[in-house]
């Protein structure tokens, strides 16, 4: 589970990051990252798992797996970064590797 301070809740924040952030692809995921969005506050992460990913049980399972994989990733993001993660339908057969996700994001965000 992500800490409460890292959860993105506002629909406006989701929309801003999706429109203005850089798109990053990882197996089973599409991520939009917007560095420096919140200044020096903690990074915020939003998660979207649509109905194309299965029934409610499968979507919640996918959400839990994604949150677990993102926990170490959030710690390595620069402060104030906005991140929106969308699960793709093949999320159930993909191995979510936090190191691969982190490398993909840091390449787009920069040092």
- CATH number for position 53: 3.30.230.10
pTM: 0.89
**How high is the pLDDT of residue 106?**
83
Q: Alpha-carbon distance 103 to 93, whole Å?
A: 21
**How high is the pLDDT of residue 46?**
95
**DSSP three-state, residue 35:** coil
Q: β-strand 29-34 against 22-26: which pairing, if any?
A: antiparallel
For residue 6, being part of any structural domain is answered with: no
Residue ranges in the chain assigned as alpha helix (H): 11-20, 56-76, 98-109
Which residue positions in the chain have pLDDT lower than 70? 111
Q: Alpha-carbon distance 27 to 4, whole Å?
A: 26
Q: Structural domain tally of the chain?
A: 1
Extended beta strands in 13-87, E state: 22-26, 29-34, 44-48, 82-87
For residue 50, being part of any structural domain is answered with: yes
Domain residues for 48? 22-109
DSSP class of residue 28 equals T
């Amino acid at each position: 589970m992500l800490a409460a301070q890292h959860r993105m809740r506002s629909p406006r924040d989701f929309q801003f990051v999706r429109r203005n952030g850089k798109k990053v692809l990882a197996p089973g995921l599409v991520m939009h990252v917007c560095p420096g969005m919140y200044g020096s506050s903690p990074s915020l992460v939003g998660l979207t798992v649509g109905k194309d990913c299965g029934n409610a049980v499968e979507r919640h399972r996918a959400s839990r797996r994604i949150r677990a994989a993102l926990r170490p990733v959030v710690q390595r993001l620069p402060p104030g970064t906005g991140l929106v993660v969308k699960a793709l339908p093949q999320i159930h057969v993909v191995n979510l590797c936090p190191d691969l996700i982190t490398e993909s994001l840091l390449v787009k965000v920069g040092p």
